[in-house]
Structure 1
Amino acid sequence: MRISLICMGKTDDVEIKKLITYYTHRLPKHFNFELVEISDVKNAKNLSPSQLKKEEAKLFLHHLETTDTLVLLDEKGKQFSSREFSSKIDHWMNISTKRLVFLVGGAYGFSEDIYQRAQEKISLSKMTFTHQMIRLFFIEQIYRASTILSGKPYHND
């Protein structure tokens, strides 16, 4: 299974980039993980939020394959504990998911086209974080799921 995290915008904070690289390198090779950062929409300041979401959707859809399982990182999504999330990853692996794609949208979220295309929505927290920090937190949770699935000691067990 391939796991992709596709994000709108680039990570420009050097410290966050270092931590993202740290956790990315710790992921198991069989996850075939990739982080894709899409350049922001040009002239975004001249677009309404609705228009901007539609333009971002075009960019996202360009990176998706028809067979992808698409999961949105969305504030209205379901929340999981780390163990529950690892079980969800295990489920996707067991049903032979070819490519599992997680999306981090722009400042205004996703267009209706993207919501229609997605199979699921996940929320990392009820709190608000920067989109750059979400990338780090999410990649760390993918790493944590891999350690749980490989039977390594977890947290305070």
Structure 2
Amino acid sequence: MRISIVAVGRLRAGPEKSLLDDYLTRFDRTGRALGLGPARVIEVEDKKNAGMGAEATLLRKALPKGAVICTLDERGRVMSSPDFAKKLGNWRDAGRQDLALVIGGADGIDPNLRAEADFSISFGSMVWPHMLVRVMLGEQLYRAATILSGGPYHRV
């Protein structure tokens, strides 16, 4: 199952990009044998600052056709890492070929796009910088792959 992180905004060179690249490389290595990956980042940018509706249009255009759409949203479900791993495994086992993990802009995800999502997850009730959310998501993808493979990275 291919994974796309579809996000509003550009992640410039720096520590966040380095960390994200590292976690996605680890995920690709670990996930390959599990039928997970590769993972890629698709960035969209609302250069006209037209708001959530315009961002939603750009995000929709960037989604792989037929992908499971999972938004990252404060209203989403808070999950443990093992539950997230199980969810990924279930989508893979159901024959889903693409998963799009959608991260909105500074104002969040347009309500209409949120309503179209198959699932929504939250990293808790705190607000996180959107660039840091990418890193956290990359780490959770890698952690999920190690959980599914029985590796030692995740400890309970």
Q: Unaligned regions of 5+ residues in structure 2, if any?
A: none
- Cα offsets for 1:33-57 (capped at 9, x unmatched): 1111112x1231xx4xxxx111001
Aligned in 2, Cα 1:66/1:116: closer, same or farther, shift over 3 Å? farther
Q: Distance in 2 between matches of 1:91 and 1:136?
A: 23
1:15 and 2:15 aligned? yes
Q: Distance in 2 between matches of 1:118 and 1:148?
A: 25
| Moved segments of 4+, more than 4 Å | none
Query: 1:66 Cα deviation (Å)?
Result: 4.2
Contact 2:76–2:122 (CA<8 Å) still a contact in 1? yes
The residue identity in structure 2 corresponding to 1:43 is K
Q: Distance in 2 between matches of 1:154 and 1:22?
A: 15
TM-score (norm 1): 0.89
Q: Distance in 2 between matches of 1:72 and 1:10?
A: 18
Query: 1:101 Cα deviation (Å)?
Result: 0.5
Q: Give me the identity figure in percent.
A: 32
The residue number in structure 1 matching 2:135 is: 136
Query: 1:150 Cα deviation (Å)?
Result: 0.3
Query: 1:135 Cα deviation (Å)?
Result: 0.1
TM-score (norm 2): 0.90
The structure number with the bigger radius of gyration is 1
Query: 1:83 Cα deviation (Å)?
Result: 0.7
Q: Distance in 2 between matches of 1:115 and 1:18?
A: 29
Aligned in 2, Cα 1:99/1:155: closer, same or farther, shift over 3 Å? closer
The residue number in structure 2 matching 1:53 is: 52
Coordinate RMSD, CA, aligned: 1.5
Q: Distance in 1 between matches of 2:101 and 2:155?
A: 28
Q: Distance in 1 between matches of 2:138 and 2:71?
A: 14
The correspondence of residues 93-108 of structure 1 with structure 2, limited to 5 A, is 93-108=92-107
